[in-house]
Structure 1
Amino acid sequence: MGTSEQSDTGRQGFDVADAAPMLLDAHGVVTGWSDEGGRLLGYEAADVVGREAATLLLPADAARVPELAERCRTSGGWSGILGARHRDGHPVSVMVRVVEAQRSPGPTRWIVLVSGMDGAPGWDMSRSVLEQMASRSPLGIAIVDTDLRYVWSNAALEQFGGGPARERVGRRLADIQPGLDAERLEAKMRQVLETGESIVGYEHVGRVRSAPHRECAHAMSFMRLSDDNGHPLGVYYTAMDITERYLVRRRLALLDRAGEHIGRSLDVVQTAQELADVAVPGLADFVVVDLLESVLEGTEPAAGAPGGPDTVLLRRAGHRSVRDGVPETVIGIGDTARYPAGSPPVRVLCSGESWHEERMDPRAKDWAAAGQGRVAPSFAELGVHSMMIVPIRSRGITMGVTSFFRRDRPDPFGTDDLALAEEFVSRAAICVDNARRYTRERDAALVLQRSLLPSHLPEQDAVDVTACYRPADALTGLGGDWFDVIPLSGARVALVVGDVPGHGIDGAAAMGRLRTAVQTLADLDLPPEEVLAHLDDLVSRGAREEGARSAVQAVGASCQYVVYDPVSGRCAVASAAHPAPALVAPDGAVSFPEIPVGPALGTGGLPFEATEFPLAEGSVLALHTDGLLAVGRREPGREPDLEEGRERLREALERADPSLENRCVAVVDALVPARPYDDVALLMARTRRLGAGQVASWDVESDPAVVADARKMVTRQLAEWGLDELAFTTELVVSELVTNAIRYASGPIRLRLIVERALICEVSDAGASAPHLRHPRTTDEGGRGLFLVSQFSERWGARYTLEGKIIWAEQSLAERPDHAGGTDLPVEPAGP
């Protein structure tokens, strides 16, 4: 039966039944021809016999005939593909096999088998060739029947375990590889049997009998074998060991995961925990990370190992286990791990070189002692059989060690595992060092912040006060906004808010300069507008002369200075380019008083003005920076609408809790997002009034004879207040102040006593001359008045009014139950 009569599912290989035979003599001349050759090339026997076979080939292949003839003589034959020319002239690709027909006696003759390439998938597919392909293939090859039992396998499959091929016949995969996930692989085979669709490149990871202590990866392909009628006979599959490729890919994936997950924050402990999380379970069964305590504190590690001569102390910063919790260690996060001198972790810490124990002695004790009555388990109790310790090292500094353990996984750590551990520990070390240095810088910034902003508001009876501060720079917590509460003479208080352009260290430094200057000017008891004028001069002079960044940055700053007097109930306000405060009346109504706004500090322009207005007791002043009005609905490229912000502030104040502290926090939370565009400071003060019984005043005539009467009036008043123990010193102070006013001043003289947290004595007159404290010599007969006042008073000074001046002196009172300490601020901590 010729090839034209074969079915599609029949034989399509190179075989005698399919080939056209030719006979050649020793010189390559055709001596025999067949009908199959005529059908293939179109020649009759008479046309070919007697011609050289080379004349039937294309010129390029005809030129190869001498070479091919020599190969046939030396090797006894040849097989390959040649180009022939059909009788009608078109080229025909043919598969050719040349074999010896006769060697002796006489000249050698050759049999040539020729087959067309059309419809043929290959050449020379004899059984012997196929057997060579299967048996000598480096790929593991096997055939299973429809019951998934082995019927044939090659020698290469033996490398995966399961014995020689003859022992596989009739057995299932689970019988020869009990440790393998046979169910999953047989499910793939059944899928191929049912659908007929091949599965190529399926990757399987498991442990084979030839390597029970390590994980292996194989690339497998499954194809169905069918008979001539298309009925399934079984499954033909191949297996190739790709373990090295799989391990490289897994290591790269671990490194990618390390790069993605380690160092997502600037927190040392969190970074250490991220290092442990990345290594489990991809590399180890459990991991512990121990750091030097100085690293956790953000300081530079000192030379040498911390601790005594026998024990080195580290702090547990991170740990992770494949089991729930970390049952392998009794040392928790933040606990101290004590390692004996000379133990592997200490050697790694001191040398900066990794330590690797492929097979550990299970009788060895864990080196870390828990302390506090707890005993560290032995490695036998933990089941540890392999361990690595890698130093956490950056910039030549060893900051701690990371220990990797294997317990559940049978294969030990190898050199590739150590290299992988060193790679991502080195990456983590950079992040730990960055976090350590950030901790140091942030701690320094927080110290600066605490020194620049009040953490405790001073004691005073003029107002109940609270404040809230939220910086735009959440990392450092530093900004250019500030607030202050400054007690003044006469039971008055100054409320200050200010805003320096910019954020961070430069803004904070500029703010610190201005806040210090305002406190100094406040001690001079100047009116609000004069305080701002002097502050403006200071900023301008600093920008011109010093050229420091903080001085230059202060140019354009805004400030609001408010003085409230609890005796008169009046409030004086001056503003330098600062928004007006909100005023909440005792009935809850919110308004914004009209305040004359002067130029920004350091920019020059019109002089500053102050306005004064009365406040009912229980009114709330809400002083704030413009950041409180410019948040919430701000869009990129759009200037904030301060009127809209003011309306939103009104609504927030009306809705807020009556409690002053809760109201302050609620207003900031309502108006300020988690990441504000600008620093925000809000200072809220509820006004008080001193009762009529806390103030006594008298008009004094300008006559030295009335000084004795003034002393008597003061003595009676102190007796009414129960302050008899202060009578002697107060009489002395009053006598000196009144005498000086009568002697050196002009106009009406008034004496006033105020009792609150101190006993305040004030003498006012119409004179403008400033009093000067003198230090008289022993021979001087006068000049000791103000010196005595300064000695018997806690504070004394002078302030000027529109009518003249006031000389005042304060005497400290013992702590009274109705006056508690200062107000702790709910200032939000800096940082994320």
Structure 2
Amino acid sequence: MQPFDAKPLSDGDEQLLAALLDGMEAGLCAFDRDGVITHWNSEAVRILGWSADDAVGRRGFSGWAARTADAHDVQTRLLGAMDAPGRQVHEFALLTKDGHRVLVRTQSAAVQGQDGRPAGVYCAFSEVHAQIDLERSIALSEALFDDASWGVVLIDADLRPAVVNAHAARLLRTGRDTLLGRPLGDLLEQGLEELETALQHVLAEGSPPVPSELWLSLRGDESAKRHCWRSGFVRLGSPLGEEPVPLGVGWLFLDVTEAKLAEQEGSLLRFRHNQLHRAGRTASECEDPVEAATTYLDFALAGFADHALVDLAGDDGRLVRAASTPEGSSGPCLPVPVGTIPVAYGAAHPVLQAVERIGTVRASFGALAAAEPASRARIDEWAAARRWPEGTVHGLSTVLRSRGRTLGAVTFLRGAGRRLFDRSDAAYAEDVAVRVAAALDLAQQLG
């Protein structure tokens, strides 16, 4: 049927118009000035069950698509859109062909004729629950990008941020607009490959079933601090195609660094406690106290350090090497032949400081040696100056004390690729030193 007083349409135009109306995702009906229905699309048929033949030509909804008590109010409010500016939104209860009531939300607006006067009304409607689902989805999206406690970043198919919420911008330490369109390599340093691999997997295979934990560091952060972000990924596809093409990935993440560090610290403490317990049981079976001392060091080295050195004070107070691990490769700590030549430690050496202070002293080639390694020659030169094996980057020396006497010092060494010794490492080394000192004191008593 030709709409209102419009210019006559060609056959091709009418076919195009019919296809557009039938392809709408909302029900559509149109009324002329007298309230007679002129259009009724296929989505309206699906929602209410009334066919176009049932609807077109009827005046209003009375007696068929609405209860008699409701029909007058429905028609008055719909046709009232001809005299009102813009679109009008209403909710009505309509009747399906099989007699069920359906609550629909309508948007109606006037249709202008060739003379500029209202010639009728069009009305687009959908079931309220479907509209509510859409509004909830929109509201959820807006909430995620406003006040969500998770970081949310939408990443396009080229792996560049397209939308960033405020929480994500704070975690990435930059502005929301600054991130848009930039490569991820401009934002992240360590962990970048793992993140990009995860994003590519999601684009190709779909969303993973469980969140993953990624350790990342921010580019430009001088401290090189690593952050653990628990990350979930959602592949984004267009619902308009028969086979949705991925539009990008939704990356949702939460900073769990403190919790993970606490968990790791707890695991480390349990492991070290078990090592000391095993070492004590093994050392108790050793007849030679010196062997018991080296047994403690062998157990302590596991996951803690690469080398261990034991220096004992001679009669003149100078330190003589008593036990050590092999320099060239990892191996057990073994006694060395007893001699009288002291170790040629220079002034202010960590071992001498530990003995003098009766405590623990840490030394390192550089705080960022693991992140920005210097040449091997410079590292070896630094280690040689301290009489430590080649490749040593970090050292920790702690005093050996027993019965109120200083027996010497034990030194633990780490190579490149290991982190610096921290306070918890110092406390563990001191626990080991107490046991080693007691065994060496017994060895001296036995001659």
TM-score, normalised relative to structure 1: 0.30
Instruction: Determine the C-alpha separation between the residues in 1 that align with 2:226 and 2:130.
Output: 47
Aligned residue-pair number = 300
2:359 to 325, 345, 353: 353
Are 1:232 and 2:246 an aligned pair?
yes
Q: Is the 8 A contact 2:160 2:184 kept in 1?
A: yes
In 1, Cα distance between the equivalents of 2:221 and 2:387? 24
> Quick one: distance in 2 between partners of 1:183 and 1:391?
44
For residue 279 of structure 1, report the CA deviation from its aligned partner.
0.8
- Distance change (3 Å), C-alpha of 1:343 and 1:308: farther
Which position in structure 2 is the counterpart of 1:221? Answer: 232
Q: CA deviation at 1:182?
A: 3.0
Which one-letter code corresponds to 2:232 in the other structure?
Answer: S
Q: 1:390 & 1:6 partners in 2: Cα distance?
A: 78
Q: Which residue of 2 aligns with 1:312?
A: 319
1:269 pairs with one of 294, 314, 331: 294
Would you say the 8 A contact 2:350–2:363 is kept in 1? no
Whole-Å Cα distance in 1 between the matches of residues 362 and 272 of structure 2? 21
Q: Which residue in 2 is equivalent to 1:202?
A: 212
Letter in 1 for 2:303: V
- From 253, 274, 281, the counterpart of 1:260: 274
1:186 aligns with 2:171: no
Alignment of 1:541-690 (within 5 A): none
SS in structure 2 at match of 1:270: helix
1:432 aligns with 2:436: yes
Distance between the aligned counterparts of 1:274 and 1:387, measured in 2? 18
CA distance in 2, matches of 1:197, 1:119: 27
Does structure 2 conserve the Cα–Cα contact (< 8 Å) formed by 1:276 and 1:287? yes
Q: State the partner residue of 1:377.
A: 384
- Structure 2 CA distance for aligned equivalents of residues 224 and 176 of structure 1: 22
1:641-666 CA-partner distances (Å, limit 9, x unpaired) = xxxxxxxxxxxxxxxxxxxxxxxxxx
Pair 237,6 (structure 1): closer, same or farther in 2 beyond 3 Å: farther
Residues 150, 170 of structure 1: 8 Å contact kept: yes
Unaligned 5+ segments in structure 2 are: 1-20, 28-60, 72-126, 284-291, 369-381
CA contact (8 A) 1:393 1:426 kept: no
Aligned to 1:290: 310
Q: CA deviation at 1:234?
A: 1.2
Contact kept, 8 Å, 2:402 with 2:438, in 1: the verdict is no
Tell me the residue number matched to 2:398. 390
Q: What does 1:498-517 correspond to in 2, within 5 Å? A: none
String of CA shifts for 1:339-367, please: whole Å, max 9, x gaps: 457643233234432234578699xxxxx
Q: Which amino acid aligns with 1:325?
A: S
Q: Distance in 2 between matches of 1:185 and 1:164?
A: 21
- CA shift for structure 1 position 276: 2.6
Q: 1:379 to 1:45 in 2, by over 3 A?
A: farther
For the 8 Å contact 1:307–1:313, the answer to whether it is kept is no
Which of 409, 423, 427 is matched with 1:423 structurally? 427
Aligned residues of 1:394 and 1:426 also touching (Cα < 8 A): no
Amino acid at match of 1:257: F
> Secondary structure at the residue paired with 2:264?
helix
TM-score, structure 2 normalization: 0.51
The residue matched to 1:170 in structure 2 has which SS?
coil
User: What code does the residue aligned with 2:359 have?
Assistant: E
What is the match of residue 579 of structure 1?
Answer: none
Equivalent position to 2:304, from 279, 284, 287: 279
* Matches of 2:409 and 2:443, distance apart in 1: 20
- Quote the Cα distance in structure 2 between the aligned partners of 1:438 and 1:118: 83
Which letter does structure 1 place at the counterpart of 2:350? Answer: P
Pair 1:278–1:162, CA change in 2 (3 A): same
- In the alignment, which residue of structure 1 is the partner of 2:184? 173
| Cα distance in 1, alignment partners of residues 411 and 133 from structure 2 | 59
**Contact preservation (8 Å) 2:297, 2:308:** no
Aligned to 2:99: none
Q: 1:147 aligns with which of 147, 158, 177?
A: 158
CA, structure 1 residues 144+342, in 2 after alignment: closer, same or farther (shift >3 Å)? Answer: closer
- Displacement of 1:202 in angstroms is 1.0
Q: Given residue 245 of structure 1, which amino acid in structure 2 is its aligned partner?
A: A
Match of 1:547 in 2: none
User: For the residues of structure 2 that align with 1:409 and 1:402, how far apart are their CA atoms?
Assistant: 22
Cα 1:376/1:237, change in 2 over 3 Å = closer
Q: Is the 8 A contact 1:384 1:406 kept in 2?
A: yes
Structure with max Cα Rg: 1
Output the amino acid matched with 2:205.
T
After TM superposition, list the pairs within 5 Å mapping 1:735-750 onto structure 2.
none
Does the 8 Å contact 1:314/1:338 carry over to 2? no
SS in 2 for 1:279: coil
CA distance in 2, matches of 1:243, 1:157: 15
Any idea what SS the aligned residue of 1:204 has? strand
| 3-state secondary structure, aligned to 1:355 | strand
CA contact (8 A) 1:138 1:156 kept: yes
> What residue identity is the alignment partner of 1:334?
V
Identity %, equivalent residues: 19
List alignment gaps of at least 5 residues for structure 1. Answer: 8-34, 47-114, 281-285, 293-304, 363-374, 445-832
Native 8 Å contact 1:200 1:220 kept in 2:
no
**Alpha-carbon distance in 2 for matches of 1:199, 1:306:** 64
Q: Which residue of 1 aligns with 2:336?
A: 334
SS at match of 1:254: helix
Partners of 1:429 and 1:123 in 2: CA distance: 67
Instruction: Give the CA RMSD over aligned residues.
Output: 5.1
**What is the aligned partner in structure 2 of residue 249 from structure 1?**
263
State the Cα deviation string for residues 473-511 of structure 1 (Å, max 9, x = none).
xxxxxxxxxxxxxxxxxxxxxxxxxxxxxxxxxxxxxxx
Query: Per-residue displacement from partner, 1:757-802 (whole Å, max 9, x unpaired)?
Result: xxxxxxxxxxxxxxxxxxxxxxxxxxxxxxxxxxxxxxxxxxxxxx
Maintained 8 Å contact 1:218/1:242: yes
Equivalent runs, 1:793-808 vs 2, <5 Å = none
- The answer to whether the 8 A contact 2:293-2:436 is kept is yes
> How far, CA to CA, are the matches of 2:404 and 2:363 in structure 1?
25
Equivalent AA in structure 1 for residue 160 of structure 2? R
- 8 Å CA contact retained: 2:360, 2:397: yes
- State the Cα distance separating 1:433 from its structure 2 match: 5.3
Q: Match of 1:657? A: none
What is the alpha-carbon distance in structure 2 between the residues aligned to residue 424 and residue 183 of structure 1? 35
- Whether the aligned pair in 1 keeps the contact of 2:319 and 2:408 (CA below 8 Å) is no
How far 1:119 sits from its partner (Å)?
Answer: 10
SS at match of 2:213: strand
Change (3 A) 1:205 1:389: farther
**1:31-70 CA-partner distances (Å, limit 9, x unpaired):** xxxx9xxx9xx9x779xxxxxxxxxxxxxxxxxxxxxxxx
Q: What CA distance in whole angstroms lies between the structure 1 residues aligned with 2:357 and 2:418?
A: 30
Aligned pair partner of 1:408 in 406, 416, 430? 416
Question: C-alpha displacement at 1:428, in angstroms?
Answer: 2.5
Q: CA separation in 1, counterparts of 2:441 and 2:136?
A: 73
- Residues in 1 aligned to 2:138 and 2:261: alpha-carbon distance in whole angstroms: 40
Q: CA deviation at 1:314?
A: 4.5
Worse-matched range after superposition: 380-389 or 401-410: 380-389
Matched AA of 1:278: G
